[in-house]
Amino acid sequence: MVFANMSGKEKLQLLVTGKSQNPRCFKGVKSLPVLYERNKKAWMTSSVYEDWLHKIDNKFQRENGKFLLLVDNNCPAHPKVLIQTLKAIKVVHLPPNLTAKLQPMDQGIIKNLKVNYGWRIIKRLLKASDKKMGLTDLNLLDAIFDLNKACADVTSDTIANLFRMASFVKTDM
């Protein structure tokens, strides 16, 4: 799950779902740069989404902020029932078949993140081939750290431009 505000200045930790509750590669790791949740199929589920939503709602309450969260209408992991329990976040489900046109994350933010991540993997492959090694030592922890760095590489200007492309413009109102 990727989350950023309209200016791109506020990016929350990525939410990553995996299959294992305690992957071996996490042994000895005190903290992760992302939120990690477990699911049998490593998919986003409504319970993972609800837990994440409550965590960020609590964070925003502590900061005395009010936020609008745009989510895909067609995703079964985005239930509409818990919306009333949120205090700092208003959730808006986009109309069917318009998510790709209206959702800034789908306008290119996620694509930019994936491209950045892909470049990191290519660099890792090249480094491994230079050392005549395989990529067998790449694990979930490495992928998480690379993904977090790839997210940091998505600039606030890129995010703001993609929000504008999706017709979101900051006004004084």
Give pLDDT, residue 67: 85
The whole-number pLDDT of residue 166 equals: 80
Determine, yes or no, domain membership for 6: no
- Measure the CA–CA gap between 56 and 118, rounded to whole angstroms: 28
pLDDT in tens, 54-108: 999 999 999 988 888 888 776 777 776 666 788 999 888 877 776 667 777 877 8
Rg (CA), the chain: 18
How far is 154 from 4, CA to CA, in rounded Å? 10
Give a yes or no: residue 78 inside a domain: yes
| Residue 5 DSSP SS3 | coil
pLDDT value at residue 33: 95
What pLDDT digit, counting tens, does each position of 118-145 carry? 999 888 888 877 776 665 677 899 999 9
Question: What crossing angle do the helices spanning 110-130 and 140-152 adopt, rounded to 10°?
Answer: 130
Alpha helices by DSSP H, listed for 40-109, are 46-62, 99-102, 104
Residue 7 is assigned to a structural domain of this protein: no
Q: How many domains does the chain have?
A: 1
Asked whether residue 171 is assigned to any structural domain, the reply reads no
160 Cβ contact list (under 8 Å, min separation 6): 6, 7, 8
Contact 147, 14 (CB under 8 A): yes
pLDDT at 37 over 80: yes
Task: Answer whether residue 1 shows pLDDT above 90.
Answer: no
CA distance 87 to 59: 11
Look at strands 89-93 and 35-38 and give their pairing: unpaired
In a domain, 82, yes or no: yes
**What does pLDDT average to over the chain?**
85
Determine the pLDDT at residue 127. Answer: 82
What's the mean pLDDT in 36-55?
A: 87
Structure token pair of residue 50: 């609800």
Residue 48 structural domain: 15-165
Instruction: Tell me, yes or no, whether 126 lies in a domain.
Output: yes
